[in-house]
Amino acid sequence: MSSSSRLLSFALFALATLLLTLWIYWPGHTGPALLDDTTSVLVIGDLTGEPGMAWDYVTGDTSGPLGRPVSIASFVLERLLLGDDLSHSKQINIILHVINGGLVVWLFALLLRHVGTTCYLGLALALGACWLLSPLYVSTVLYVVQRMAMLAATFMLLSCISYCYFRQALAAGSVSIKWLVAAILSFVLAVFSKENAVVVLPIIVLMEALWFQFRDHKGQTMIWLQRATLTTMALGALGLLFIFDYESLAASYQHRHFDLNERLLTQSRILWDYLGQLYVPDVGRMGLYHDDYTVSTSTTSPPTTRLALVAWAMVLGLGSLCLIWQWGRYLVFCILWFIVGHSIEGSVFPLELYFEHRNYFPGIGLFLLAGLPLAACTKRWRETSSPLMVLTAFYVVWLATHTSSLVQVWSNHPLLILHHLNGHPDSFRANTDMAVQMANVGEFDAARKYSERAYSVSHSERVGDQDIRELALACIANEAVPPAIFDELGIENARRPFGTVVTLHTLVKLLQDETCPEFDRLRFANRLQQLFLDEKSIATASPNMYMGFALLENTLQRWEVANRYIDLMLAAAPHDTQGLLMKLHFVTALGKVAAADAVKSRLIELQNQGKLTVSEQQTLALYLEN
């Protein structure tokens, strides 16, 4: 076959693969909004009237330390151009996944061509298709907010691809500034999409050390490059040692039901689980909720912890041994791609234990790893390339069947809820979701049953939070709440009766919207007032919780009480601009001119410091005009 016909057939197969992926994923666009979608995506309002507020959203996200402006900008653009239909967001995610699949194939082709595989294009496509159609990524692609992880991966892949081209030129003796700039620019965009994209830097360094192995196009070692790379690696390792502070990290786990050591032990198991789910998927367990994952409290509890640790030790040993051989170094690179890819979210930081989307970028390394024996085989025996491609295609089809069924599950909210509940019967979130669903269809008793189950499997939920949730469920189901329920609120954990802000805010929102006419809002508000504002009260709450109470009182037009809640909130968070604006609203409503002027001057001061968003400035302007 001539090279042009080979290219043509590759292009046709590649197009078919991408279209197949699109076809399989497309039904997923009808799926629901989930978890952080509400706080990061759905919070973006209609911008067509006020496009100036777009900047607020782009710079105002607090999901990560850098604010993820690139990802948020994509959501904002989408709102501006396509409107606020969630299905558009999912469609864009699906298209982005297909684009990422194309980039993975491109990167694989560059890497495999370097190792001298004759049918590198076909192999790259086959391995890329495995990645593209892996069912583990359904929860990334169809969970809108994970656009952040996907966009980060897009730019990380572009960064890697640019480096490959830069490296090609370097091997031929020229320095290609344009590819270097492209690599750096992509890196910056990746980091501003999601912070953990920073792992692409060590991955590129490892790519140089273990894949390109400092060779030029004649196979000679470029000594300066070798020294520069090894020095970078050494400096990186020293830097990590320097900034690693066990005590402060351990302290940051106070809100988790596990500590730093337990997290590390558990992650050793979770990484194996991810690996298994990538190669031999068990779709029944897949989903968004893994909060029921058993924490490893020691090396023997559960016993698989020890096994996992021993297996990693063996990987370390065998990997070290493999460094002797050229193909062994390729192998180590693939493994390290996976491990380094998980080094932010799967290591010392006090994040939740398990999320499938964390594999979106690291998984690429595992599929490249699976392709290495094939690459070696086709390099040595060219005739084997076609049957091996066909056999890989069988595997791709097998993965695709899992993905397509999972997409169907994700395309329908009740079905997804039931799937989560079946796969994770001990998940707090799965049970809570089911409770809400039951309330939505008017089955309050069933909703309470699942709410109680959620409480019983929860690691840290307070009784008060369960009570608030059940009040919200009663409101959703429009059930009358017996007065005794209100009276019993906050009796347990008297000092800190409530801990979950989201549930309270949901309930307040429902009451604001008058979703449940049967609900005695006044009695509920009075009970909260009794708990938090009574002279003998010992109960306290977080600033956001106080804000929720204030919003409730605002709905009831009891501004005096609302003002007292906001005072409590501002005592804990004096620079909170939202709180200050609410304070301004309440004191103005109460006719307290002096107090209003004081708040206005404080807000003007903050505005001059550039700490007010556009919408906050607009709100403030309304008060200043009066």
Binding residues for another protein, rule: CB under 8 A, are 20, 23-24, 26-27, 283-284, 377, 380-384, 386-388, 390-391, 394, 400-401, 404-405, 407-409, 411-415, 418-419, 421-422, 437-438, 441-443, 445-446
Q: Which two tokens stand for residue 18?
A: 């991408």
Closest CA to 613 of 161, 164, 43, 75: 43
Q: For another protein, which is the closer residue by CB, 290 or 448?
A: 448
User: Residue 615 in 3-state DSSP?
Assistant: helix
The span from the CA of 525 to the CA of 348, in Å, is: 41
User: Residue 275 in 3-state DSSP?
Assistant: helix
For residue 298, what is the DSSP state?
A: B
Q: How far is the CB of 465 from another protein (least distance, A)?
A: 24
Closest CA to 89 of 102, 76, 107, 108: 76
User: Residue 264 in 3-state DSSP?
Assistant: helix
Q: How far is the CB of 24 from another protein (least distance, A)?
A: 4
The span from the CA of 303 to the CA of 268, in Å, is: 12
Contacting residues for 464 by C-beta, under 8 A, at least 6 apart? 489, 490, 492, 493, 497, 498, 499
φ/ψ of residue 236, rounded to 5: -60, -45
Q: How far is the CB of 270 from another protein (least distance, A)?
A: 23
Output the CA–CA distances (angstroms, integers) from residue 390 to 328, 374, 393, in the order listed: 26, 12, 5
Contacting residues for 616 by C-beta, under 8 A, at least 6 apart? 577, 578, 581, 607
Q: How far is the CB of 415 from another protein (least distance, A)?
A: 6
Give the count of beta carbons closer than 10 Å to the beta carbon of residue 309.
16
Q: For another protein, which is the closer residue by CB, 24 or 580?
A: 24
Phi-psi region of 213 (alpha: psi -120 to 50; beta: other; left: phi over 0): left
∠ at Cα 125 (124, 131), nearest 5°? Answer: 90
Whether the CA torsion 131, 137, 138, 143 is positive or negative: it is negative
The span from the CA of 238 to the CA of 241, in Å, is: 5
Q: How far is the CB of 387 from another protein (least distance, A)?
A: 3
Q: How far is the CB of 441 from another protein (least distance, A)?
A: 5
Q: For another protein, which is the closer residue by CB, 122 or 202?
A: 122
Q: How far is the CB of 294 from another protein (least distance, A)?
A: 21
Q: For another protein, which is the closer residue by CB, 41 or 133?
A: 133
Q: How far is residue 531 CA from its own chain's centroid?
A: 36
Q: For another protein, which is the closer residue by CB, 366 or 407?
A: 407
Q: For another protein, which is the closer residue by CB, 127 or 568?
A: 127
Q: Which two tokens stand for residue 514?
A: 């008058």
Q: How far is the CB of 402 from another protein (least distance, A)?
A: 9
Q: Which two tokens stand for residue 295?
A: 């924490």
Q: How far is the CB of 93 from another protein (least distance, A)?
A: 17
∠ at Cα 14 (11, 17), nearest 5°? Answer: 150
Q: For another protein, which is the closer residue by CB, 152 or 438?
A: 438
Q: How far is the CB of 392 from another protein (least distance, A)?
A: 11
Q: For another protein, which is the closer residue by CB, 185 or 415?
A: 415
Q: For another protein, which is the closer residue by CB, 52 or 284?
A: 284
Torsion angle defined by CA atoms of residues 16, 21, 26 and 29, in that order, rounded to the nearest 10 degrees? -150
The span from the CA of 193 to the CA of 564, in Å, is: 39
- Terminal alpha carbon distance of the chain: 80
Q: For another protein, which is the closer residue by CB, 382 or 575?
A: 382
Q: How far is the CB of 20 from another protein (least distance, A)?
A: 8
Q: How far is the CB of 260 from another protein (least distance, A)?
A: 36
Q: For another protein, which is the closer residue by CB, 19 or 240?
A: 19
Q: For another protein, which is the closer residue by CB, 158 or 388?
A: 388
